[in-house]
Amino acid sequence: MRVRIRAMARLTGIREPTLRAWERRYGFPRPMRSEGNNYRVYSREEVDAVRRVARLVQLDGLSVSEAIAMVVSASRDMPPGAERLQECFWPAALLMDSDEMTRVLETARQALDVDTYCDGLLLPLLREMGSRLDIAREHVASALVRHRLWQVLSSVESHALGPRALLACPPGDFHEGGLLGLGVQLKRKGWRVTMMGADTPADALRAACEQLSPDMVALSFVQERERTEFQSLLEGALRACSPMPVVVGGPGAREHLMTTFNLGARYAESAQELIALWNQARSAQNRS
């Protein structure tokens, strides 16, 4: 699609004099010139870019220069580094532009290896959403990123004889992004992973443990809780999973390490630490 400046103004809501002023002052947008009459001619990509600038200015209160800088930095010729791709994701997230976010994530999937894709892009995006986005934008953006993590988890081949991990979030905790990242890392290290996901009640944990007899149960506590509530939830999970070992992680558990240890659970910050705890437990069993 190619349009002249009058159509560009109609499609974007930005007046023709303003478009010309932006072009002079910021070098944005950059129309082609038609042969013969030298009219400005804009591509579909330029129309979309001007729309994104307009929305950043109108909805988020950015200055024109800030909005243009954001949109230009998210150009389609972006280099494939994880940090650069993060920079391209946030303007689209602010605009709730699902198509643009999907494009950035797909570019990342094709350009990055699996570890960098998950640990260098997807998980950092999830961690920063709470501080960068309001609730509505966070819901839209996090759903897209979690979907990508599920895709990666499903694509990693399971080892038939590997140890099995059962992964879940406790009741009331709906932030499963870190748990999905853990699942990807464990599967890539030869584990079989069963993902129960967000808001898993103790009865569901019990049924899964009886059916699968996992080698390890990992619970991700992200939501902040008072000590008594955390203790009650962990006690219920330990009863449900007994005698399987339980490892907890996440910022919501980090605040209650003493309670975790007193109840007989373990704490791990990463897949590597979880595997080390499992190896220690297995060595202790072999010696006994």
For 208-226, write each residue's pLDDT tens digit: 999 999 999 999 999 999 9
Superfamily of domain 74-155: Methionine synthase domain (1.10.1240.10)
Report the candidate in 120, 117, 190 with the shortest Cα–Cα distance to residue 152.
117
For 162, which DSSP code? S
Q: Of 49 and 241, which is predicted with more confidence? A: 241
The sheet with strand 32-33 has its strands ordered as 2-4, 40-43, 32-33
Non-local CB neighbours of 48 within 8 Å, separated by 6+ positions: none
CA-based angle 9:10:15, to the nearest 5? 35
Which token pair is 91? 């303007």
Strands 2-4 vs 266-267: parallel, antiparallel or unpaired: unpaired
CA–CA separation, 227 and 102 (whole Å):
39
> What does the domain layout of the chain look like in residue ranges?
1-72, 74-155, 159-287
Q: State the pLDDT at residue 242.
A: 93
> Taking 60 as the threshold, does the pLDDT of residue 79 lie above it?
no
Q: Contact 256/227 with Cβ under 8 angstroms? A: yes
* Phi and psi at residue 201, to the nearest 5°: -75, 160
Take residue 124 and report the two structure tokens written for it: 């950092």
Residues with Cβ within 8 Å of 186's Cβ and at least 6 positions away in sequence, in order, are: 165, 193, 271, 274, 275
What mean pLDDT comes out for the span 108-135? 86
**Contact, 238 vs 265, CB < 8 A?**
yes
Q: Which is it for strands 40-43 and 2-4: parallel, antiparallel or unpaired?
A: antiparallel
- What CATH number should be reported for the domain whose range is 1-72? 1.10.1660.10
pLDDT tens digits for range 140-174? 999 999 999 999 999 888 777 889 999 999 999 99
d(CA 171, CA 150): 20
CATH number of this structure's domain 159-287, picked from the four choices 3.30.9.10, 3.40.50.280, 3.90.1010.10, 3.40.47.10 = 3.40.50.280
* Phi/psi of residue 33, nearest 5 degrees: -115, 130
1-72 and 159-287: identical CATH topology: no
How far apart, in whole angstroms, are the C-alpha atoms of residue 215 and residue 207? 15
Amino acid at 38: N
Closest Cα partner for 232 from 208, 256, 204?
256
CA atoms within 13 Å, Cβ hemisphere of 175: 18
pLDDT tens, residue by residue, 250-264: 889 988 999 999 999
Sort 67 into a burial class: Cβ within 10 Å, 0-12 / 13-18 / 19+.
Answer: buried
More confident residue, 147 or 34: 147
pLDDT at 273: 86
Rounding to the nearest 10 degrees, give the CA dihedral for residues 196, 198, 199, 201.
10
CA within 13 Å, CB half, 154: 6
